[in-house]
Amino acid sequence: GTCLNVGCIPTKTLLNSAKHYLHAQEAPQFGVHADNIRFDMAEMAAWKKKTVETLCSGVASLMKRLKVDVVMGTGELVAAGKVKIAETGEVHEAKAVIIAAGSVPAMPPIPGTKDNKKLLDSTALLELTQVPENLCVIGGGVIGIEFASLFGTLGSKVTVIEMMDRIVPAMDAEVSKNLRLILERKGMSILTGTKLQEIIEEDGKLRIKVEGKDDIIANKALLSIGRVPDLEGIGDVEF
């Protein structure tokens, strides 16, 4: 459910809205003029929500048509072939159980990252209805760069911190190099080979301390250093 609810689909929906806004700004050079070009983040968020709900409804209809029983709730494997639903206490039994809970954002053991309301993961960032003036993206992988591009296009002053020597390090080096040039031309600051040391909340903002460079001040920060398997549903069952 991550991709459809809080992953690829809502992210690409917002990116598409940002693309339309960017194209409208660039239109005059092609002889197309529109006055008072603006965007409304709350309306973009509403469109994203409607898109997700429409696709979720389609999947639900598909399950019904295929006669698949869908139980809404939090499942936990309590014994071989037995799954307990936390909300109701009922237990469902089967010959085989497929655990497909997906993944959750990784949390580094760095001072200031725990219980910090201004430090958001990708799920929380998708719920913003206002564009932060300054956004620090911690992690220059695919997720981090997607959000950096989105909010940079919408006017945030974006700083990306990446510990590796280049952004999107899992991609081809030439792609990484050209993508960095494109983002920097848009006004983003990208710090590669940079290690996060501590995050301090002060005066309603975040002071982000990094190794060997000046502190970064931001209204919000995205923590996107990767994802780890969500194994909570396995419980105490041994294999």
Q: 190: which DSSP letter?
A: E
Strands (E), 80-164: 82-85, 91-93, 103-105, 119-120, 134-138, 157-161
pTM: 0.89
Tell me how far apart the alpha carbons of residues 166 and 190 are, in angstroms, rounded to a whole number: 9
Q: Could you tell me if 41 and 198 are in contact, meaning their C-beta atoms sit under 8 angstroms apart? A: no
Q: How far is CA 17 from CA 6, 44, 125, 144, in A?
A: 17, 7, 16, 18
Q: 198: which DSSP letter?
A: E
pLDDT for 116 equals 86
Tell me how far apart the alpha carbons of residues 146 and 166 are, in angstroms, rounded to a whole number: 15
pLDDT in tens, 141-156: 999 999 999 999 999 9
Cβ-Cβ contacts under 8 Å for 107 (sequence gap 6 or more): 113, 114, 223
Q: H-helix or E-strand containing 146? A: helix 142-153
pLDDT in tens, 181-193: 999 999 999 999 9
